[in-house]
Amino acid sequence: MNTEEFNDEINVVIEKLVYGGYALARYAGKIYMVKNAYPGEFIKIVPKQVNKNLIFADLKEVIQPSPQRVNTQCSHFPNCGGCQWLDYDYNAQIEAKTEIIKEQLTRIGKIDNSLVRNTIGSDIKYGYRNRMEFAFQNYRSLKLGLKKADSNEVLDIKKCPISPNPFDNIKNRFKDLVEKLELQIYNPKSKKGILKHLVLRRSFSKNQNMIILVTHTEYLPYENEIKQFFKKNFHPYSLIHLMNSSDKIVLRGPYRTLLGEGVLLEEFDNFTFQIPPISFFQNNYNVTDKLLKSIVSYLKDKVNNQATLLDLYSGVGLFSIYLSPLFKHIEAVENSKISVKAAISNSHINSINNIRFILANSKKYLQNNVSKKFDFAIVDPPRKGLENKEIELLSSAIKKSLIYVSCDPSTLARDLKSFVEKGFNIKIVQPFDMFPHSYHIESVAILEK
């Protein structure tokens, strides 16, 4: 396609949804990718950009909408990058996620997609997120909200349907205080200013809120006024000041507790977990509970009282501690000092003494312990998945089964292909809808030697 053709409008029928939040259509032997469209819809698009064999296009008009297209009460959709499918029927979202996992496994991993089970949905479809990262911006006026899709521009969000109700009130009232105090907002281009983010975390089981103020500087102006404001209006379980000079990761850097406790508490089936301000924790309490129970359901018939488990990327010890009654010995490996410290505290809180927590990079741990063998392993790596060396070392360390928890279907498919080449059989791949109204999919793959 020539660039001069880019302004030509064309009519297409959407074939399916694909990973990344796009809908796919074919026209004149070419594949078109467009956002905010759904399977079966007849739409008008304007081609914008060619990337290899794909043509990315903007939606101009929905000529014939899908019966699954529904009304949304959110005034910021679809401009906001927080949701992609907010106006798509929830049951249709669930079905689409199952098909996306199947497509990724087949195309990238060359894996039999009959192993993929139907996606397990979230009982809570709105207000489900236990962490929201709101950004400040002050170019022409003060904004506090989420970024536009494919942009660094912040939308000034008053009400967000996927965040818990208390978050909207905290966010809007604090923005008013920032304006009143004339607090300087950080500018990532000039690297000047103070206030960067307002991060809100919530414990669903304990009904606790943590408020995190992220600044570029080591000091927080009007600290006493801010503390009194939150104490008087919101009685937070925890108020934290996080000093973060990084523009890449929001929750990073030293922090101090201004009010209340330094950690949130979350509970699953009588196991209590302390969650520090900057530690990772699954974002949907309801679905995390289902995910944990599904892993136990698999393991309970496979494990004897002498079995051992290796937990890589173990975080604050969620999997290790929850699974500890099933195993004789567990080694949990994590490279965040704060998360390991929290994991050790969590084991003490729950009176568990069969877990050894190790502060180490996963690959280095495997390289330094090549002679160690474990009956089972569970891994929950970041979005980029595992390195080839990790897969090689992990494969030789496992005697029976591997449980792979993934937040990215494409890297999951790539890694599963490598594990199959190392002698594993994939038993099931179970998707979970950890993020309703978005294209993101959490999956648990179970592999056996």
Pairing between strand 131-138 and 54-64? unpaired
In the residue annotation, 80 being an active-site residue is answered as: no
The catalytic residue among 74, 80, 160, 407 is: 407
Block residue for tokens 């809100």: 200
CB atoms within 10 A of CB 117: 15
Model pLDDT, residue 53? 82
Angle at 35 between CA 59 and CA 409, to 5 degrees: 165
Residue 275, burial from CB neighbour count under 10 angstroms (0-12, 13-18, 19+): buried
In sequence order, the 6+-apart residues with CB closer than 8 A to the CB of 385 are: 406, 408, 411, 412, 414, 415
Kindly report the pTM of this predicted structure.
Answer: 0.94
C-alpha 440 chain-centroid distance: 8
Per-residue pLDDT of the chain (449 residues; tens, 9 = 90+): 444 456 689 999 999 999 999 999 999 999 999 999 999 999 999 999 887 789 999 999 999 999 999 999 899 999 999 999 999 999 999 999 999 999 999 999 999 999 999 999 999 999 999 999 999 999 889 999 999 988 999 999 999 999 999 999 999 999 999 999 999 999 999 999 999 999 999 999 999 999 999 999 999 999 999 999 999 999 999 999 999 999 999 999 999 999 999 999 999 999 999 999 999 999 999 999 999 999 999 999 999 989 999 999 999 999 999 999 999 999 999 999 999 999 999 999 999 999 999 999 999 999 999 999 999 999 999 999 999 999 999 999 999 999 999 999 999 999 999 999 999 999 999 999 999 999 999 999 999 99
Model pLDDT, residue 267? 98
Pairing between strand 208-215 and 10-18? unpaired
Report CA-CA distances (Å) from 314 to 24, 166, 447.
37, 30, 19
**With the CA atoms of 370, 311, 427 and 371 taken in that order, what torsion angle do they form, in degrees rounded to the nearest 10?**
10
The domains located in the chain, with CATH, are 3-64 (2.40.50.140), 98-123+269-448 (3.40.50.150), 131-262 (2.40.50.1070)
C-alpha 217 chain-centroid distance: 27
Alpha helices in 263-371 (DSSP H): 285-299, 318-323, 337-349, 362-368
Q: Are 378 and 403 in contact (CB under 8 A)?
A: yes
Pairing between strand 442-448 and 398-406? antiparallel
In sequence order, the 6+-apart residues with CB closer than 8 A to the CB of 407 are: 382, 383, 434, 440, 441, 442
CB atoms within 10 A of CB 240: 24
CA distance 345 to 321: 11
Question: Per DSSP, what are the bridge partners of residue 357?
Answer: 332
